Amino acid sequence: MNYKLLNFKVHGDERGSLVSLESNKNIPFDIKRIYYMYDTSPEWVRGKHAHKKLEQVLIAIDGACTIVLDDGKTRQEILLNRPDAGLYVPVYMWREMKNFSYGCKLMVLASDLYDEKDYIRSYDEFLKEVANA
């Protein structure tokens, strides 16, 4: 699987910590959109889709959640629980977000603006597209 765990440099002292995120430096694409999820109950599963063109980096800036990644052949679970670590998710990667801790805040950096046509929302359709790629 070609996802990547990114470790961000932490700048800090007795006043606290700071992480800087920069396009094409520690984020491997131009950042065109940022959004975040919060107040997600642990029993809910979010995501359940893949993208044809969009790349993303997911960061649990507070709390923890599990990211399930599936490239059509292999399925893997990754725990996000540090604000100085991000998960790079490339194109044609099915993703699900689950097991949100109470108070979890999951931030997503995206390589493009929202485009409904870029989404693959059916797992069966995803498997067909990956097989033909």
Q: What is the pLDDT of residues 45-58, one digit of tens each?
A: 999 999 999 999 99
Please state, for a pLDDT cut of 90, what percent of the chain lies above it: 97
- For 62-72, what is the mean pLDDT? 98
Domains and CATH numbers, the chain: 4-8+22-128 (2.60.120.10)
49 is catalytic: yes
| Averaged confidence pLDDT in the chain | 97
- For 92-113, what is the mean pLDDT? 98
Q: What is the pLDDT of residues 7-30, one digit of tens each?
A: 999 999 999 999 999 999 999 999
pLDDT given at position 1: 83
Residue in 3, 6, 21, 49 annotated catalytic = 49
- For 48-73, what is the mean pLDDT? 98
Q: What is the DSSP letter of 23?
A: B
State how far the Cα of 14 lies from the Cα of 59, in Å rounded to an integer.
24
State how far the Cα of 46 lies from the Cα of 94, in Å rounded to an integer.
12
Contact assessment for residue 66 and residue 78, using Cβ atoms and an 8 Å cutoff: yes
Measured over the CA atoms of residue 1, residue 77, residue 101 and residue 10, the dihedral's sign is negative
- Whether the per-residue pLDDT at 132 is higher than 90: the answer is no
pLDDT given at position 107: 98
State how far the Cα of 131 lies from the Cα of 19, in Å rounded to an integer.
38
